[in-house]
Amino acid sequence: MKSFIVFALFVAAAVAVPVENPRDAVIVRQEVDNIGVGGFSFSYETSDGKSAQEQGQLKNVGAENEAIEVRGQYSYTGPDGVVYTVNYVANELGFQPDGAHLPKAPQ
């Protein structure tokens, strides 16, 4: 009987321990500015520390080389506990990320 009580206490303790599931993260802040004309911007932050922001603008409107340029950044905490931040530009030259943890292209 004593072993059953000890077993029941271990089960109760295991069930009572909160387990953090990254899929349970919620948006704690969100801003969007996009009316379909001109540029756009958005930003958000989640309860697990992820964040992002982005702005886009049409360049050379009406010209033959019309293109959209998007600039932004995102941050997250890696499994090692370090916060990683990536800044980026995406335009007619492609996606160009930059972050302290990313390898640099030779000059």
Residue ranges covered by each domain of the chain: 23-98
The whole-angstrom separation of Cα 69 and Cα 55 is: 8
pLDDT at 35 over 80: yes
More confident residue, 2 or 77: 77
pTM here is: 0.72
The whole-angstrom separation of Cα 32 and Cα 25 is: 20
Give the pLDDT confidence score for residue 47 in this predicted structure: 94
- The arithmetic mean of pLDDT across residues 72-97, rounded, is 96
Give the pLDDT confidence score for residue 75 in this predicted structure: 98
pLDDT at 87 over 60: yes
pLDDT at 32 over 70: yes
